Chains A and B, each alone.
Chain A
Amino acid sequence: MPAIRVQDLSHSYGHYQVLRQVTLEISQGTCYTLLGANGSGKTTLLRILATLLRPTSGRIEILGRDGVTDKTLIRRSLLFLAHGSHLYEELNALENLQFALALRGLFPTPRQLKLVLDRVGIGAFASMKVRHYSAGMKKRLSFAKAMLAAPDILLLDEPFTALDHSGVELVQDYIREVLNRNGTILMSTHDPEKARVVSQQVGLLRQGTLHPWTWRQKDAS
């Protein structure tokens, strides 16, 4: 059973068609990279897979569950780190993590929280309001959330933006770790070189149509 299966998926915003007949299969334990220009439909595809948008036509299946009827089940095993950081500015890092995980039914201990914040390198800012965080620190905090939530499926929208060199390495390490425990990752990026190190498959979205590629084909183009 593939972890993510997308079949003839189309989506339009009003009269503008963003995705056309996208078909895609990602097996468990692999990382798939989505490339594509701005406005090619990458985020829309991720949002549909995260069950945030209903597809106009076609169907999606995540771990064998239908994306429209079994939303809650999918949401339990899936985490979407989107373009927005999903953080509350008035809360500090610890409180943000506690709230976000409580909505998923998880209640990490203070020790776990501290360990994970240290790992993503913001342990020293644990009780600082997120309002004062830089974009890179917010990104690291989002990954701390992912580490604690430990989802089977991880959707990443531009995971490398705003991160410094050590941040990129941290994310790459984390991706390897998820793959090692048979997790599945789908990410969109404008930075194929950083994705390539950890990702087995790659696809190019162009005008809403998905073209499956290999990294070698990509080099040739």
Chain B
Amino acid sequence: MFRHVVQWVVWKDLLTEFRSRETLSSMLFFALIVIFIFSFSFSMNQQAAQELIAGIIWVAFAFTGMIGLGKSFSAELQNDCLEYLQGSPAAKGAIYAGKVAANFMFMLIVEIILFPLFVIFFNLDVIEQISLLLLIFFLATFGLSAVGTLFSALTVQIRAREVMLPILLLPLVVPVMIAAVEATKGALNGDPLPMYQQWLELLAIFNVVFTVVSFWLFDFIIDA
């Protein structure tokens, strides 16, 4: 039962996205603009890029993620679908899990499309580190979507929700951002893994703690 609900929620979100392409296209376009603005505002040379690039990548990913997360539950407002999710006998945790999975996929897809652009625009050398970078993206994106899905549901039914999602979410995901930036920096510099392994561990701890906590708290957000 639980597994079915998760699957159907993911299926529904993916199918909706496949038909409308609203979320992915707005995320991609926004991220592209962010990359350009960054490169203008820092007028980067090769050396500066090496220092700053990890931070730029993650700021771009996090802000892009906010767009996807914001849409995740605001799409449920049309025709009061959120009300049906609340009133259905399905476990609310299953709905949370399905939403996290869908948001995680959207964010990861955007990141995988964007990363080659960073490589091209900032002339990065990534071939040897690619699997480690993917692991970092995977862990950090999961952390962002686990907490972000909870806060997407929390902000969707309040006033000024577009502003409140980043205001509430960004301070809470500071550990994810720090860890992701430091680990990405290490991987891009070609440092040996033990030098930044602690950041991957931090990400793993954060993910475990906040997946469990959000899974439990989601019930109180979605249900009276």
Q: Do A and B bind each other?
A: yes
Contact B79 A52 (CB under 8 A): no
Contact B79 A84 (CB under 8 A): yes
Contact B5 A103 (CB under 8 A): yes
Contact check: which of B15, B19, B85, B224 meets A103 at CB < 8 Å? Answer: B85
Give the residues in chain A near B1, CB-CB below 8 Å. 105
Number of A interface residues in the complex (CB < 8 A): 30
Contact A72 B79 (CB under 8 A): no
Contact B87 A105 (CB under 8 A): no
Task: Tell me if A150 is interfacial: C-beta within 8 Å of chain B.
Answer: no
Give the residues in chain A near B84, CB-CB below 8 Å. 86, 100, 103
Give the residues in chain A near B89, CB-CB below 8 Å. 72, 75-76, 103-105
Name the CB-closest residue of B to A83.
B80
Are A91 and B15 CB-contacts (below 8 A) given A72-B89, A102-B5?
yes
Task: Tell me if A211 is interfacial: C-beta within 8 Å of chain B.
Answer: no
Task: Tell me if B90 is interfacial: C-beta within 8 Å of chain A.
Answer: yes
Task: Tell me if A90 is interfacial: C-beta within 8 Å of chain B.
Answer: yes
Contact A75 B87 (CB under 8 A): yes
- Which of A27-80 touch B at CB < 8 Å? 50-54, 71-72, 75-76, 80
Contact A84 B80 (CB under 8 A): yes
Query: Chain A's nearest CB lies how many Å from the CB of B216?
Result: 16
Contact B83 A84 (CB under 8 A): yes
Chain B interface residue number, banded: 20 to 34
Task: Tell me if A177 is interfacial: C-beta within 8 Å of chain B.
Answer: no
- A interface footprint on B60-99 (CB within 8 Å = 1, 0 otherwise): 0000000000000000001111011111111000000000
Give the CA-CA distance A82 to B15 in the complex, in Å: 25
Give the CA-CA distance A104 to B5 in the complex, in Å: 9
Task: Tell me if B223 is interfacial: C-beta within 8 Å of chain A.
Answer: yes
Give the CA-CA distance A100 to B11 in the complex, in Å: 12
Contact check: which of A75, A84, A90, A104 meets B15 at CB < 8 Å? Answer: A90
Contact check: which of A86, A104, A105 meets B80 at CB < 8 Å? Answer: A86
Task: Tell me if A88 is interfacial: C-beta within 8 Å of chain B.
Answer: yes
Contact A52 B19 (CB under 8 A): no
- Which of B4-47 touch A at CB < 8 Å? 4-5, 8, 11-12, 15-16, 19-20
Are A90 and B20 CB-contacts (below 8 A) given A51-B87, A100-B84?
yes
Query: Chain A's nearest CB lies how many Å from the CB of B21?
Result: 10
Give the residues in chain A near B223, CB-CB below 8 Å. 71
Contact A86 B81 (CB under 8 A): yes
- B interface footprint on A87-127 (CB within 8 Å = 1, 0 otherwise): 11111000100111011110000000000000000000000
Give the CA-CA distance A6 to B224 in the complex, in Å: 18
User: What residues of chain B have their CB less than 8 Å away from a CB belonging to chain A?
Assistant: 1, 4-5, 8, 11-12, 15-16, 19-20, 78-81, 83-90, 223-224
Closest 6 CB pairs of A and B: A84-B80, A86-B84, A75-B89, A103-B88, A102-B8, A103-B90
List 19 contacting pairs A-B, 8 Å CB cutoff, sorted by A.
Answer: A53-B224, A71-B223, A84-B81, A84-B83, A86-B79, A86-B80, A86-B84, A87-B81, A88-B16, A89-B78, A90-B16, A91-B19, A99-B8, A100-B88, A102-B4, A102-B5, A103-B84, A105-B1, A138-B79
